[in-house]
Amino acid sequence: MKNVYKKTIAITLVSLITLTGFSQLNNAFRFKITGNGYSDETIIRLVNGASVNFDGSYDAWKLFSLNPNVPSLYTQISPGQELSINALPDYTKDTSIIIYTHIPANGTYTLNIEELFPLTSNYKVSITNLNTNTHYRILGDTSIVLSLDTQQYSPTFMFNISTLASSSVVDETCFGMNDGSLMVNNLGNTNWDIVILDSNNNIVVNSTSNSGVNNFNNLTPGDYSAEIDSKGIIDEINFSISPALNLIADFTLDTDTAYLSDGGIVNLTNNSQYAQNYTWDFDDGVTSSTINPSHTYTTIGNYDITLLAQNTNCLTQKTKQIIILSSPAVITGINDVSENKLKVINHGNGNYQLSTNLHSQKSLKVYDITGKSVLEDLYSKDNYNLSLTNNSPGIYIIKIRGENGFIFQEKIYR
């Protein structure tokens, strides 16, 4: 009687396969359960043009044995609509199909999974034992031995169909921000794990996602590998985060001091790198977007020239100071200036130490930016303690003349 039943099932399935026309010779699996001295089987396949409902051209209803000792294996559209052959559409997102069983007696059963027609490269598949939540990757024909308890037409397995996860990368936006990101699109799947390793195999992300689409941010520039694990199916993604161009704002002045008597003109050379747009602020209410501008000042003072450099994503700035005086005579009034420099040590709060190498009587004069004398003194030591604590903040010019005529001069910022 057992052999007659087995032959009947085999002939029936062969006939159904012929009738339903396996015109697409791919993505077809036969599931066969054996135990208690009997076996039963069901088929799941993906067919372009099939649906999740009953398709007369592709599907076949389940015929259950009248022998209560025979295990049953099947899928269903809904309760009362059980299938022995279930043709489903070509999926473009992850999908799981429940496989039901009737297990007549406790015992050891073998589930054989046969790849009737090859799985195309856009899919990966696995099967899950719902009783133990154990996942098995299906790579060709697969055999699983398991212990099952008696159960009446219950969901026992889940056939998992995984489409390839897609991804996209956003490179670092601005240099040094380390804000690269990876977007993973795992459509149809709301329970998957991901581990991202850097080029040194350090784990930088170890996460579980409950969404089909997820972003992983704050990645530094470099090479990475990602492993996505879901229901025993592993996808691997290799990707790189490119560093942003190092946007630099920089410029040079043709002088650090300009004179109204000479026109008050300052010429600027733009040395910025990887910038597309420029904005100059001359600290006198005037701005410019010229790459290499010239600017005319009309009032004496101390000005901060700021260059703002921008590209598509980023901006940075550089500020330099320039002094505008009425004429060179305001500063020095001298023709003989030593090449030696006056050494000035700033002790803070308007206190300075002046050092020269003139070991003789010296005259000291200090002027403010307008040329007004604010201090005069004579001293003979190499060092002089200068105090401007009672003077207003600003630029001051120090002149020291020795007995031999040598003159030292220096600008300080109070």
pLDDT tens string 134-168? 999 999 999 999 999 999 999 999 999 999 999 99
Kindly report, residue by residue over 333-348, the tens digit of the pLDDT. Answer: 333 444 456 788 898 8
19 and 157 belong to one structural domain: yes
Q: Does residue 202 belong to any structural domain of this protein?
A: yes
Nearest to 346 by CA among 392, 387, 399, 304: 387
Check residue 86 and give its pLDDT. Answer: 97
> Is the pLDDT reported for residue 371 higher than 80?
no
Predicted confidence at residue 262, as pLDDT, reads 93
Question: Residues 177, 145: contact at Cβ < 8 Å?
Answer: no
Residue 30 corresponds to which tokens in the numbers above?
Answer: 């036969």
276-281: average pLDDT = 98
Residue 17 has pLDDT above 80, yes or no: no
- Give the CATH number of the domain where residue 209 resides: 2.60.40.10
Same domain, residue pair 155 and 219 = no
Report the share of the chain in percent with pLDDT over 70: 91
Residue 27: band (very low, low, confident or very high) from pLDDT cuts 50, 70, 90 = very high
Whether residue 13 is found in the same domain as residue 119: yes
Do residues 304 and 341 both lie within one domain? no
Q: Is residue 396 part of a domain?
A: yes
pLDDT recorded at residue 396: 87
Single residue among 241, 262, 284 that ends a domain in this structure: 241
Per the structure, the complete domain to which residue 236 belongs is given by 166-241
Asked if 215 and 361 sit in the same domain, the reply is no
Query: What is the rounded CA–CA span in Å between residue 154 and residue 296?
Result: 89
268: exposed, middle or buried (Cβ count in 10 Å: 0-12, 13-18, 19+): buried
Looking at the fold, whether 121 and 89 belong to one and the same domain comes out as yes
231 and 338 share a domain? no
Q: Are residues 157 and 37 in the same domain?
A: yes
Predicted pLDDT at 340: 53
The pLDDT value recorded for residue 329 is 53
Least confident interval from 54-58, 281-285, 405-409: 405-409
Average pLDDT, stretch 99-125? Answer: 96
Q: Are residues 6 and 135 in the same domain?
A: yes
Closest CA to 396 of 347, 295, 290, 325: 325
Question: Do 192 and 319 fall within a single domain?
Answer: no
Among candidate residues 144, 163, 182, the one where a domain is terminated: 163
| 228 & 353 share domain | no
Last residue of a domain, one of 194, 213, 241: 241
Residue 246 lies in a domain: no
Weakest-pLDDT range from 131-140, 173-182, 404-413: 404-413
Query: Terminal CA-to-CA distance of the chain, rounded, Å?
Result: 110
Mean pLDDT of the chain: 89
Structure confidence at residue 87 as a pLDDT band (50, 70, 90): very high
Burial of 186 per CB tally in 10 Å (0-12, 13-18, 19+): buried
- Clarify whether residues 118 and 16 are in a common domain: yes
pTM score, whole prediction = 0.70
Residue 293 has pLDDT above 60, yes or no: yes
Q: Using one digit for the tens of pLDDT, what is the confidence trace for 346-367?
A: 988 899 999 888 778 889 999 8
Cβ-based neighbours of 301, under 8 Å, separated by 6 or more: 323, 324, 369
Please say if the pLDDT value at position 401 is more than 60. yes
Residue 91 lies in a domain: yes
pLDDT attached to residue 311: 96
Please report the pLDDT score of residue 335 as a whole number: 38
Q: 97 falls in which pLDDT band (50, 70, 90)?
A: very high
pLDDT of 28 above 80: yes
Q: Domains in the chain: how many in total?
A: 4
